[in-house]
């Protein structure tokens, strides 16, 4: 690359970065830490069953499966508007530990044809889940994970917590 091409490359990179920030969901970074005491929890979920036989687990880990509102995904195979295929997948969500520290972002599908949410492993403990919802900005629920057990969360039927009445 010659010295005269450097400004053009920098300009192209800046334009690409500006475009990506304008895309929905790309401009807002998730917080690394939240105030867990300020969260109004909509639901509390505990392990309900043992994981399916043959599920390999890290020692001390449990499983979490979250049913969310479906989100439309268009992989972009087609060339014209209205021609592309659209798939409905479980929406992704964020996991925070009990103290409010960001743990992981869970993409809740493997392929765009998946109708079943992803099962993810977490260390035993209590977690806050930030689940996007079409009815409100985020639905916050608590999920308790126990070693070698499965915790199921159904965010589709969970309602947000009512704010505390003013004193």
Q: Is 66 helix (H, G, I), strand (E, B) or coil?
A: strand
Verify that 25 and 58 share a domain, yes or no: no
165 lies in a domain? no
| Host H or E run for residue 128 | strand 125-133
164 lies in a domain? no
In the predicted model, is pLDDT for residue 65 greater than 80?
yes
Give the pLDDT band (50/70/90) at residue 77: low
Please give the pLDDT value at position 43. Answer: 81
Verify that 84 and 145 share a domain, yes or no: yes
Give the pLDDT band (50/70/90) at residue 95: very high
Q: Count how many domains the chain has.
A: 2
Please give the pLDDT value at position 10. Answer: 52
Boundaries of domain holding 120: 34-154
- The pLDDT of 45-70, averaged and rounded, is 82
167 lies in a domain? no
Out of 59-63, 82-86, 125-129, 145-149, give the one with best mean pLDDT: 125-129
- The pLDDT of 86-109, averaged and rounded, is 89
Verify that 98 and 22 share a domain, yes or no: no
Verify that 46 and 94 share a domain, yes or no: yes
Verify that 22 and 41 share a domain, yes or no: no
φ, ψ dihedrals at 133, nearest 5°: -145, 140
Verify that 16 and 91 share a domain, yes or no: no
HSE (CB half, 13 Å, CA atoms) of 58?
7
163 lies in a domain? no
Cα 124 to Cα 87: distance, rounded to the nearest angstrom? 33
112 lies in a domain? yes
CATH number at residue 73: 2.60.40
């Amino acid at each position: 690359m010659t010295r005269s091409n450097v400004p053009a490359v920098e300009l192209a990179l800046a334009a690409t970065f500006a475009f990506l920030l304008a895309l929905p969901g790309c401009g807002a970074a998730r917080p690394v830490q939240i105030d867990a005491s300020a969260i109004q929890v909509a639901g509390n979920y505990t392990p309900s069953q043992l994981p399916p036989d043959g599920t390999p687990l890290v020692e001390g880990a449990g499983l979490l499966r979250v049913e969310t509102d479906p989100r439309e995904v268009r992989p972009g195979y087609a060339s014209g508007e209205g021609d592309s295929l659209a798939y409905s997948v479980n929406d992704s969500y964020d996991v925070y530990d009990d103290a409010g520290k960001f743990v992981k972002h869970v993409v809740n599908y493997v392929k765009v044809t998946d109708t079943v949410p992803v099962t993810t492993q977490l260390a035993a403990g209590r977690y806050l889940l930030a689940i996007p919802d079409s009815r409100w900005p985020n639905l916050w629920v608590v999920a308790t994970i126990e070693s070698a057990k499965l915790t199921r969360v159904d965010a589709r039927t969970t309602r947000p917590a009512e704010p505390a009445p003013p004193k």
